[in-house]
Amino acid sequence: MNAVTETGAKRLLSGNEAVAHAVWEAGAALASAYPGTPSTEILEVLGGYPDLEAQWGVNEKVALEVAIGASLAGARSFCAMKHVGLNVAADALMSQTLAGVNGGLVIAVADDVGLSSSQNEQDSRYWGRFAHLPVLEPADAQEAHAFTLAAFVLSEEYSCPVLLRLTTRVCHVKTLVTVGPRRPAPERHFIRESRRWVMLPGNARAMIPAQFKREAALAEFAETTDLTQVWEGSDTSLGVITSGPAALSAREALPDVPLLKLGLGYPLPLERIRAFAAGVEKVLVIEETEPLIEQELRAAGLSVHGKDVLPRFGELSVTVLRAGVRTLRGEPAPTPPAETQTAVAAAAQVFPRPPTMCPGCPHLSPFYCLSRLRNSILISGDIGCYTLGAGQPWDAMDTCTCMGASLTLANGLAVGKSGPDANKAVVAVIGDSTFLHMGMQGLLNLVYNRANVTVLLLDNRAVGMTGGQEHPGTGLDLYGKDAPRVDFAALVKALGVKEERLHTVDPYQLPELFKLIRSEIQVDDVSVILTNQPCVLTHRHKARPALKVEEDQCTGCGNCLHVGCPAIQVVRRDQRTTASGAVKDLAFVRIDSAFCTGCGACLGPCGAKCIVPVTAEA
């Protein structure tokens, strides 16, 4: 993105782009992050700005600690992550909230309201209350820009990290944003003050009163800040208290109702809220997702409605809000027109389109192999593209909890399995970036505890699920420059895996891969099978000649379909009665050569050997 040199320039920006511009504009020297939807693009955009160092961290805790270090040195710094990432970074956050900061430190945490691409729906506003930190909640891209600038000032004024709570809708929706040139940050230098920066129990204990004093000062600030606004309305039978993008939905759903929009979601301006509530008959708290404000207000003695009429999960759309208000007012739900009912019924009959892996994905073969061994193994999965192995046609995953947990859960499964599972082998599946993020400790734990687990370390040289970002195993940094690349084989051996139990294999060589997995699950030891083909959506992938089906030779066995490649299509189905009288389903297939990458994963399962390369003449 081009740097802006004039004040008042307008740009069409997403919330992520607006935050990035504001970080640069505020004079920040360092920005760090770990990729995670919906926050990923913030750091990617920052990588294009001058006069600022942008770094991918190995995980969110590392990224935050790097940003803290820059702040202690006196520089303004920034860190971004998705909601589950703040769980990983919480150790550093909860200590630094006591010590505070030197240069301004802003932490953007993006909540995936509605679970578009996450394993849970988490309300990060609670971290403000838990860590006694201010939480700013922009409603759109313009506010994301303005609130980021305000967050740096607030951080330095109150000497604390500031949380910028985004949601998927703020991150990804674009609007016109007024931006400006980069401003020099206030000059600061490292403060040599070990009683403050060295978190010994005695030092930390002495900081607690200052933390509460700061929180009280922030509460006073909340009463007067223009980050919070009152949107007037003529219908005083109801008043709405809300924050973030839910405020825009509330205004559209209830245009005539007074609305108090909280820009500072924590701490709350209780006196300001009391004054607002006194001017309306009923108060409805609209918040995504948890009833944090609602509970705070009830604890303060205010009578409010909220989750008694509104859902506690998912985005609060205009339709949802209007339905909730009708319930609150005791009004019957309107009957939709007949044509609307017909359209809804028709939409419900649309054939589902479950997510799947890409054509030629190097993860297809490992999950095909695991699916063939399904009855004899327990499979512990992890977070990444390969999580899709839980779906069809593979059904090759039994657990998936959080990043890095495949290895540690596998440890427990190996010890705790009993009954019909007692003799099953345990397999853990993890990707390269996830292994570096939080999996190394799990492998060390497996080795240390002599667990009987086979690990599939699927190295596709990318953070694939979030768009192919770089990491220490790709050989490039955020800027695309050469960087030291982790040698996974050496790392695995350094963590204690025996050399004879470490195997590197091309996942496209499916028969070899299958034999290797089947062999290793029979060994009572920690085994690691390392695959070595890159993600097909990155520049590292080299496509091979596309394949096709000699359709007149296809027997309809359908074995190739079990690989799960979306380039393979069923063109017709048939049934045949065998000599024994059994009815056999046949699926005759075609390969869409425009999608085929020529990986060859389908060649091994093909019973008729009718899959051949597309010739130049064809």
* Tens digit of each residue's pLDDT (9 = 90 or more) over 256-272: 999 999 999 999 999 99
Return the percentage of the chain with pLDDT > 90, whole number. Answer: 74
In which band, very low, low, confident or very high, does the pLDDT at 441 lie, cut at 50, 70 and 90?
Answer: very high
358 annotated to bind ligand: no
Residue 104 has pLDDT above 90, yes or no: yes
CA 591/CA 96 separation, integer angstroms: 56
Residue 341 has pLDDT above 90, yes or no: no
Determine the pLDDT at residue 617.
Answer: 53
Specify if 342 maps to a domain. no
Kind and range of the H or E element at 22?
A: helix 15-25
234, 205: one domain:
no
Determine the pLDDT at residue 505.
Answer: 96
CA 241/CA 273 separation, integer angstroms: 8
What is the number of domains present in the chain? 4
255, 268: one domain:
yes
Return the percentage of the chain with pLDDT > 70, whole number. Answer: 95
Q: Average pLDDT over the chain, rounded to whole?
A: 91
Mean pLDDT along residues 377-383? 93
The CATH number of whichever domain residue 317 belongs to comes to 3.40.50.920
Specify if 118 maps to a domain. yes
146, 198: one domain:
yes
Domain residues for the domain of 492 are 364-531
Cβ-contact 109, 86 below 8 angstroms: yes
CA 417/CA 412 separation, integer angstroms: 8
CA 162/CA 305 separation, integer angstroms: 29
First to last CA, the chain: 43
- Show which of 224, 248, 278 is a domain's final residue: 224
471, 491: one domain:
yes
Specify if 334 maps to a domain. no
32, 142: one domain:
yes
Structure tokens at 525: 């030891």
Determine the pLDDT at residue 196.
Answer: 85
Cβ-contact 179, 7 below 8 angstroms: no
Distances (CA, A) of 10 to 43, 149, 177: 21, 16, 5
Determine the pLDDT at residue 350.
Answer: 65
Specify if 537 maps to a domain. no
Specify if 514 maps to a domain. yes
- Show which of 329, 351, 373 is a domain's final residue: 329
Specify if 2 maps to a domain. no
79 annotated to bind ligand: no
Q: Closest Cα partner for 125 from 166, 156, 65?
A: 166
Mean pLDDT along residues 502-513? 95
219, 247: one domain:
no
The CATH number of whichever domain residue 134 belongs to comes to 3.40.50.970
pLDDT tens-place string over residues 181-225: 999 999 999 898 888 888 878 888 888 899 999 999 999 999 999
Specify if 341 maps to a domain. no
361 annotated to bind ligand: no
In which band, very low, low, confident or very high, does the pLDDT at 342 lie, cut at 50, 70 and 90?
Answer: low
DSSP string of 474-510? TSB-TTS-B-----HHHHHHHTT--GGGEEEE-TT-H
Determine the pLDDT at residue 4.
Answer: 66
Determine the pLDDT at residue 618.
Answer: 44
pLDDT tens-place string over residues 463-500: 988 888 999 889 999 999 999 999 999 999 999 999 99
| Bond into 336 cis (ω within 30) | no
Cβ-contact 274, 298 below 8 angstroms: no
565 annotated to bind ligand: yes
Determine the pLDDT at residue 346.
Answer: 62
Residue 115 has pLDDT above 90, yes or no: no
- Does 353 or 562 have the greater pLDDT score? 562
Specify if 473 maps to a domain. yes
Determine the pLDDT at residue 204.
Answer: 84
392, 304: one domain:
no
- Show which of 224, 250, 269 is a domain's final residue: 224
In the chain, count of helices (H) and strands (E)?
A: 20, 22
DSSP string of 358-423? PTT-TTHHHHHHHHHTGGGEEEE--SSGGGGGGSTTT---SB--STTHHHHHHHHHHHH--GGGTT
DSSP label at residue 161 = -
In which band, very low, low, confident or very high, does the pLDDT at 344 lie, cut at 50, 70 and 90?
Answer: low
pLDDT tens-place string over residues 24-60: 999 999 999 999 999 999 999 999 999 999 999 999 9
CA 51/CA 42 separation, integer angstroms: 16
Q: Closest Cα partner for 18 from 129, 125, 146, 137?
A: 146
Structure tokens at 407: 């290895």
Q: What is the pTM of this model?
A: 0.87
CA 241/CA 250 separation, integer angstroms: 9
205, 234: one domain:
no
* 3-class secondary-structure state, position 590: strand
Strand ranges in 533-594 using DSSP code E only, listed in sequence order: 547-549, 568-577, 583-591
CA 357/CA 566 separation, integer angstroms: 7
108, 197: one domain:
yes
218, 238: one domain:
no
CA 33/CA 30 separation, integer angstroms: 10
610 annotated to bind ligand: no
User: How far from chain centre, in Å, is Cα 203?
Assistant: 35
Q: Closest Cα partner for 534 from 435, 598, 458?
A: 458
What does the angle CA 269 – CA 273 – CA 276 come to, to the nearest 5 degrees? Answer: 145
209, 264: one domain:
no
Residue 577 has pLDDT above 80, yes or no: no
Mean pLDDT along residues 283-303? 94
Mean pLDDT along residues 5-19? 89
301, 371: one domain:
no
Strands 259-262 and 239-243, sheet pairing: parallel
